[in-house]
A and B are shown apart, each in its own frame.
Chain A
């Protein structure tokens, strides 16, 4: 391995944006057939680096060598011709076109300018077959699951002469089975000699996939280490912090029950017969696979999801069937997982996203908005959350993912909550932002709120929560507390519903 010519070699890559040095003389080397993880906090320069690799951005200085030959990648088409393809987080699919049409887009087989639909289907069929994807060729892309869309995107990136494949957080929205498929694919590609550049925040993926890991921090190359490097060490390299400093100490909960749910069944049957409780000052985890009902259970508590059966009590008072607005008046707050689709008003000043659920409280007679106090309080919260920049009048879309997530959590700081339900609070958020989010969550719990964390991130659940409910196929399959909370047990109950039911 050591003596082969690298598939891709970048040396001294620098990229300056106005006021910011995004990359400062970064080196990166990708061998044929290896999976090389790029690791770093948001803003460390990973995105810029892969954009340059993929031809989507140009570097100010530095050289790029493909298979030993110095090359300049002027645009994405250039890069693809040379065997370098990228799958970015934002898909570039045409939602209403078929899978086949998307897969061959840009290189439709045609005769005299007339596209032959049969040839399109054949080429797409061949390509998907090579990759072992089973996706209906004629289905419009918009009808596919996110994972299937991801596969189409990969198939699009895939060409027979593929040498380098760049995957930017490809599993961010995949469930575990789908992730497994992707990992297998990456392994396959490696065996065929394709070098894979893999951007991820997930430790599990690094352990599972990485041959080597290159760590970036603040636009600089830190080091390249083997994929077997421990998570603690990687995090230390990435942040200059040790693992213990990521999760705050959580004070013990009180014994007063804040919210209790008995026999909760949602109308869409995503949750059935779930009973749980959250005490004041307690952080409770909802663990489970995607589609296990953990998120729906939390949504049901805040009136987002309609109930078919069961009841909810807040401090002993019946609140079954409360609407979202009523739940907010009861100070039961749900913060959604997807900032862009459900969380923020992207083209509005960030202030409006933060104060959105509380606008009634910032209004005379619930009608006339008291803009000044709204402005002041939101500005305070943004400063408290250490947003950069802490400017409430900047549009929400102008902030990075970590900052957006902090702002969303700011909603819970604007008013004291009785119950705070956080759905995947740290998806796509770098460690720095995580630390401050976790600290705030701990503060909120210490302040007397009952906190529910719905999370697919196991370490988060293991380290933050006093108790954990594990969901599987819409039911609660385990209730773990204290020493019972460990990775094996949670995983076991997440996966094997039948067994646990036999036990129960």
Chain B
């Protein structure tokens, strides 16, 4: 009897230890690296700067990054369909100057601010849709490689934006525009955040509950299989780019409101930033996988890291370095997650 007791004790202890790491592994496999990285970022920056973990700061960090989150959603849609969009930055610039020009022209022509804003918003959304449609035709119909096509349109749209404004920021926007879309808030949460949340929820619902949404995943996962099931990969891809164009326009309008001017030279870093955020959010570059929530969290993580480093007065050069490191770590962690999940499935943990 005593022998047995002596024998089982270390075994039990070992078992308990295994269970702790096992539980950690299970959590990791379930939620992925992203929430963990987010938590690390929050803890680190809270220690570096006392101002980081305040409602005001977090709110302003999120507000400043709301437009990026929406553009990440735009990138996310085409990534899911198996595409790529390098023109999101140029579309942002084009929408910004087009809507700003429309608004300031209307205002100068004697329209009421409300009327000018509505027209500006419509023009902005239409320009986004049109830019998306150009990508859609090139990629969905003419079957041009997405990388090349959006590289080309990135140059074209940026050139157009510069041409329209001669490189000069468009000012003279209705004050209400930036008051409402840049700085107002509802129930204590600022409008850009609400709009980003709304965009995410709508997109989530579309992808999850509608057939076009499911088709997007199917085409991204295996275009041949989709075709044999009666889904047109070209048309689905075109839909993705048009949706993306509209989403970019929404983000661009928020940015314009925040800047209070139409800028032709904004958005250069958006293509890479949006792809990075989506990848950090676990979206596969090979298409067919990823979910809205994680893409948004990817954007939030990048936003918090930027904000935290600003508060901690870290030189902005380091910011670029840290962003690169975060991207690499996130991708590695995601691969590790795949292995851990496989090990759990196989009953090894």
B230 with A371: CB separation less than 8 A: no
Q: Do A369 and B229 touch across chains, with their CB atoms under 8 A apart?
A: no
| A18 and B217 contact, Cβ closer than 8 Å, known pairs A347-B284, A356-B226 | no
Q: Which has the most chain A C-beta neighbours within 10 Å: B221, B229, B288, B347?
A: B229
Q: Which listed residue (B211, B214, B221, B230) contacts A346, Cβ 8 A?
A: B221
| Residue in contact with B225 in the complex, picked from A323, A344, A359, A363, CB distance below 8 Å | A344
Q: In this complex, what residue of B is CB-closest to A353?
A: B225
Q: Which residues of the other chain, A, contact B230 by a CB distance below 8 angstroms? A: 323-328, 357
**Chain A residue with Cβ nearest B205:** A368
Does A160 sit at the interface, judged by CB under 8 A? Answer: no
Complex Cα–Cα for A363 and B210 (A): 8
Q: Is the CB of A368 within 8 A of B228?
A: no
Task: Tell me whether A3 is interfacial, beta carbon within 8 Å.
Answer: no
Contact between chains at A342 and B221 (CB < 8 Å): no
A359-381: which residues lie under 8 A (CB-CB) from chain B?
Answer: 359-360, 363, 366-369, 371
Contact of A368 with B209 in the complex, beta carbons under 8 Å: yes
Contact B347 A352 (CB under 8 A): no
Contacts of A341 in B (CB 8 A): 222, 224
- What are the residues of chain A within 8 A of B215 when measuring CB–CB? 359
Give A366 to B231 CA distance when docked, in angstroms: 13
Looking at the assembled complex, report how far the CB atom of A110 sits from the nearest CB atom of chain B, in whole angstroms: 32
Q: Is B16 part of the contact surface with A, judged by Cβ < 8 Å? A: no
Q: Contact between B288 and A347 (Cβ–Cβ < 8 Å)?
A: yes
Cα-based distance from A356 to B208 in the complex (angstroms): 14
Distance (whole angstroms) from the CB of A417 to the closest CB of chain B: 14
> Known contacts being A19-B347, A328-B229, A334-B228, is A367 close to B221, with CB within 8 Å?
no
Closest to A343 in B: B225
**A462 interface residue, CB < 8 Å from B?**
no
A342 touching B228 in the complex, CB below 8 Å, given contacts A18-B347, A348-B288, A366-B211? yes
**Is there a chain B Cβ closer than 8 Å to A40's Cβ?**
no
Q: Cα distance A504–B346 when bound, in Å?
A: 59
Contact indicator B218/A342 (Cβ below 8 Å): no
How many A residues face the partner with a CB closer than 8 A?
Answer: 33
A59 to B346, CA, bound (A): 18
- List chain B residues, Cβ under 8 A from A325: 230-231
Is there contact, CB below 8 Å, between A369 and B214?
A: yes
Interface size class of B (residues with CB under 8 A): 20 to 34
A359 touches B347 (CB 8 A): no
Is the pair B217, A348 in contact by a Cβ cutoff of 8 Å? yes
Is A304's beta carbon under 8 Å from chain B?
yes
B64 on the A face (CB < 8 A): no
Identify the closest chain A residue to B289 (Cβ). Answer: A347
Chain B, residue nearest A398 (CB): B345
Contact residues in B for A356 (Cβ distance below 8 Å): 218, 225-226, 229, 231
A323 nearest CB neighbor, chain B only: B230
1/0 per residue, CB under 8 A from A, across B190-229: the answer is 0000000000000000001111111101100110111111
Does B313 sit at the interface, judged by CB under 8 A? no
Within 319-349 of B, Cβ neighbours of A (below 8 Å) are at 343, 345-348
In the bound complex, CA of A257 to CA of B43 (Å): 72
Whether A324 lies near B346 (C-beta < 8 A) is no
Contact check: which of A348, A369, A371 meets B289 at CB < 8 Å?
A348
Contact (Cβ within 8 A) B222 A359: no
Cβ–Cβ contact A359 & B288, under 8 A: no
Known: A19-B347, A323-B230, A347-B288. A359 touches B214 (CB 8 A): yes
| Chain B interface SS verdict (over half) | helix
Tell me whether B348 and A18 are in contact (CB under 8 A): yes
Query: Residue of A at shortest CB range from B284?
Result: A347
Cα of A344 to Cα of B225 in the assembled complex, Å = 6
Q: Nearest chain A CB to B79's CB is how many angstroms away?
A: 13
In the assembly, what is the distance between CA of A324 and CA of B229, in Å?
7
Distance between B90 CB and nearest chain A CB, rounded to angstroms: 30
Query: Would A363 and B211 be within 8 Å (CB), given that A344-B222, A348-B217 are in contact?
Result: yes
B330 to chain A, nearest CB (A): 18
Closest B-chain residue to A326, C-beta based? B230
Report the Cα distance A348→B214, complex, angstroms. 11
Given A328-B230, A345-B221: A360 in contact with B284 (beta carbons within 8 A): no
A324, A359, A371: the one within 8 Å of B228 (CB): A324
Complex interface: chain A residues within 8 A of B222 (CB)? 341-342, 344-346
Q: Which residues of A contact B218 (CB under 8 A)?
A: 345, 348, 352, 356
Query: Which residue, A18, A345, A357, A366, has most C-beta atoms of chain B within 10 A?
Result: A345
CA distance A38 to B127 in the complex (A): 64
Judge whether A352 and B217 touch: CB under 8 Å: yes
Contact between A345 and B225, CB atoms less than 8 A apart: yes
Could you tell me the distance between the alpha carbons of A343 and B218 in the complex, rounded to whole angstroms? 11
Chain A residue nearest in CB terms to B213? A369
In the complex, what's the smallest C-beta–C-beta distance from A97 to chain B, in angstroms?
21
In the complex, which of the residues B221, B228, B345, B348 contacts A348, with contact meaning CB atoms closer than 8 Å? B221
A336 within 8 Å of B (CB atoms): yes
Closest Cβ of chain B to A414, distance in Å, is 12
- CB pair A359–B209 under 8 Å, yes or no, is no
A493 CA to B69 CA, complexed, in Å: 64
Given contacts A324-B227, A324-B230, A353-B225, contact A345 B217 (CB under 8 A): yes
Cβ of B26 to closest chain A Cβ, rounded Å: 15
Contact with B along A304-347 (1 / 0, CB 8 A): 10000000000000000001111110000010100001111111
Ordered by A's residue number, 6 sampled pairs between the chains whose C-beta atoms are within 8 Å are A304-B227, A324-B227, A324-B228, A342-B225, A345-B221, A369-B208
Nearest 9 interchain pairs by C-beta: A325-B230, A345-B221, A18-B348, A357-B229, A18-B346, A356-B229, A19-B347, A324-B230, A342-B224
Q: A325-B231, A343-B225, A352-B217 are in contact. List 9 more A-B contacts (CB 8 A).
A: A326-B230, A345-B217, A346-B221, A347-B288, A347-B289, A348-B289, A353-B225, A356-B226, A369-B208
B residues near A, CB below 8 A? 208-215, 217-218, 221-222, 224-231, 284, 286, 288-289, 343, 345-348
